[in-house]
Amino acid sequence: MSAAETNYSKTKLSCFYSYLSMASAFSLPPILFVTFREMYGISYTLLGTLVLVNFCTQLCIDLIFSFFTKYFNIHKTVRMMPLLTSLGLLIYAIIPTLFPQYAYFGLLIGTVTFSVAAGLCEVLLSPLIAALPSENPEKDMSMLHSLYAWGVLSVVVISTIFLNLFGRENWMYLTVFLALFPLVASYLFATSPIPEMNISQSSNSEGMKKRNFGLALCVGCIFLGSAAENAMSNWISGYMENALHISKTLGDIFGMALFAVLLGVVRTWYAKYGRNISKVLLLSMIGATACYLVAGLSQSVIFSFLACVLTGCCTSMLWPGTLILMEEKIPNPGVAAYALMAAGGDFGASVAPQLLGVIVDQVSASHWAKQLGAAVSLSAEQIGMKVGMLTASLFPLLGIFLLIFIRKYFTKANRHS
């Protein structure tokens, strides 16, 4: 390890730990939704709105940084980011506890606050890792994103144990406990050197056009990859329970948890052994398409179950891998480019699950679904779920064609540069 890498080793640790602790902002709220409904009488529609607010807030942060990066003090923003996570979780816990009549207001304000931190995390940690001196920068990027999956798994395990031991009515203490972890990240960043990150763009008009088109292709790729990952991660529990008739407990343990494990294992594997990211991305899109088609078409519970879980393996590199691809093809991309990539990823994460929900509802209520279901011994809801999975296969399928074009485009661009 070089002297420069040694100087920034604590900074790298700060990034890794911050990404790990950020998982609570994404994975804790859905675990508590049933509790909120029972304790405060909050409807599922309003609880679902919290998820939408989460992603929309992140998307706003992504877009703000895409166009106004130069107006921010990057170093101060990085150090403030974990504090916002803790503050959001504390608001999330304290206001509903002290003022139960304003429970939803507290959850909404808390969600907005830690969603701002989550957006900053996506926008700033990837370019910060890329700016650190390293012999294997793409492996560092893969390791950074693998920690999110391990963070989700940790939050699920800790929350399950806590709520079973102490009861759902004590959920606020769990939230306050998880709010302590980002404070460690804040200390680590406060005591670590932060390198300068590129926020400028090339002034060459011809070079700028090629760069922007290449970046647009990468944004499209991360949109499709994120959509492919999040469509399954958000629907795997419901699909296993309603379409495959697997109990919720088994579906969550062997479905959601195993999906997260495979997500983390593959990203960790790539961080240690991975190379040739464009080929990895193409094979991932092909694998994800196959998994969605099997989940949607197969009447075998075992095959459908395996297809759902293996989607975690196939989609694991689609978000971090596209960032690695962008770094390879677009030299010195800058913070604004990472912000646009984060916006593309967040947009995919918002659109895909919502689209599946609409399709499942529409198909389940249709007359032809009832007729088809009767013919193949399935309910209309099961048909709706399967049509939803088939629709989701379009995201990685389009990703295959886009990646083929991207590979040809950058090969040609490199020949003429």
Q: Which two tokens stand for residue 415?
A: 């020949």
And the tokens for 371? 């007729």
pLDDT of residue 234: 79
| CA 290 and chain centroid, separation | 21
The amino acid at residue 373 is G
Q: What domains sit in the chain, N to C, each tagged with a CATH number?
A: 1-137+165-191 (1.20.1250.20), 204-417 (1.20.1250.20)
3-state secondary structure of 220: helix
Give the CA distances from residue 188 to residues 13, 33, 306, in Å, rounded to whole numbers and listed in that order.
8, 32, 40
Task: Please say whether the beta carbons of 257 and 156 come within 8 A.
Answer: yes
Closest listed residue to residue 48, CA positions, set 108, 101, 89: 108
Q: Is-contact 330 217, C-beta < 8 A?
A: no
Q: Is 131 in contact with 2 (CB distance < 8 Å)?
A: no
Among residues 71, 88, 92, 70, the alpha carbon closest in space to that of 80 is found at: 88
- Tens digit of pLDDT at every position of the chain (417 positions): 554 555 788 999 999 999 888 887 777 887 787 788 889 988 867 877 787 788 889 888 988 887 777 788 888 999 999 999 999 999 999 999 999 999 999 999 999 999 999 889 888 888 899 888 887 877 888 888 888 888 888 887 888 889 889 988 999 999 999 999 999 999 999 999 988 776 555 444 555 777 888 999 999 999 999 999 989 987 887 788 778 888 766 766 677 778 888 988 999 898 888 788 999 999 999 999 999 999 999 989 999 999 999 999 999 999 999 999 998 888 878 788 888 998 899 889 888 888 888 888 889 889 999 999 899 989 998 999 999 999 999 999 999 999 999 999 988 876 665
